[in-house]
Amino acid sequence: MRHSKKSQIAEVNDKQQQNGPSKKTSASRKNHGSSGKQLQQLSRLYDEAMDTYNQSALAKTTEDMLRTKNRPRVTKIVSLGLGSLFDAKDQQRRIKQLAVLMAIASQLALPLGDKSTLTLYAQDPTFTTADEAFLESLGIFVLNTSSISSLGEAGKIMDEETLVYSPFLTLETYKLLFSSPSTNVPILVSDDFNALRLKWDKRTSERKDVEGLIQGTREGNYRRRAVNGEGFWIEADRPFPMALYWRQSIAQDLPVPRNVESTIRTRVFPKLEHQRIPIHA
């Protein structure tokens, strides 16, 4: 006698109840438990990185850079190229880069009476579900992109009140960032283009691309300040040298600290809110 489909399902359910959880259910619980342990471990590593940062000279340097009267108004921070925090090879470096991101956010409190809020975003095509869960637990909104060489959703929200933090980007994405008319960001914390230029031989196209980025920062009226991470990074997790690029709204003769490279010319530059920053390749 043939059983109906309902009868067959009932029999399967009865057997599952008699024999205990199905393999699929057991595997699901195992994966959930493993994910929970990963998040706990990541949280511990992140706390350790924050403790190391707070005791380093980099913390004071970052505070001095960002807590100034002339700082542009920032209501958004967008992180590009952070990478998956669960990558075993580069995990320590990426967690430290996340710690720097959160430290930067802590220095950008809006003035009293300003009803806006500082919003944090992160975008990287390698983010996993676990990455997204951890970042969201820190109050960071995760944006989507199909490729690290694309601005993705971040390109739609960046504006003149956005600080961009990019611990790693391809040259193609940097060129997009500088050439897009909708992404005239006032502050960029990124690879140090001066150091990046030395990575390639003078005759390579990559060297020309980086020189174009440097020229773009000059014509875009940005000042460069090298970020010294001594006391925070160690040899095993040290990233490529970074710098802070700060866009000046109007060129004028301002005192420049010794470790600041001025990119201001003698003539007055127009405001850049609606201008494209040229890239010379």
Q: For position 235, what pLDDT does the model report? A: 83
**150 pLDDT above the threshold of 50:** yes
**242 pLDDT above the threshold of 70:** yes
Q: How far apart are CA 254 and CA 258, in angstroms?
A: 13
Q: According to the per-residue pLDDT averaged within each range, which of 156-165, 233-242, 251-260 is highest?
A: 156-165
**154 pLDDT above the threshold of 60:** yes
Q: Tokens for 123, please give them.
A: 């975008």
Q: Which amino acid is at 85?
A: L
CB-based contact 125:153 (threshold 8 Å): no
Using a pLDDT cut of 70, give the percent of the chain over it.
Answer: 75
Using a pLDDT cut of 90, give the percent of the chain over it.
Answer: 44
The confidence band for 181, taking pLDDT boundaries of 50, 70 and 90, is: low
The average confidence (pLDDT) of the chain is: 78
Of residues 196 and 114, the one with the higher pLDDT is 196
Q: For position 229, what pLDDT does the model report? A: 78
**260 pLDDT above the threshold of 70:** no
Q: How far apart are CA 4 and CA 11, in angstroms?
A: 11
What is the Cα 33 distance to its own chain's centre?
A: 29
Q: How far apart are CA 57 and CA 130, in angstroms?
A: 31
The confidence band for 92, taking pLDDT boundaries of 50, 70 and 90, is: very high
Q: pLDDT per residue over 10-62, tens digit each?
A: 443 444 444 444 444 444 444 555 678 889 999 999 999 999 999 999 999 89
Q: pLDDT per residue over 194-238, tens digit each?
A: 999 998 999 999 999 999 999 988 888 899 999 887 789 888 888
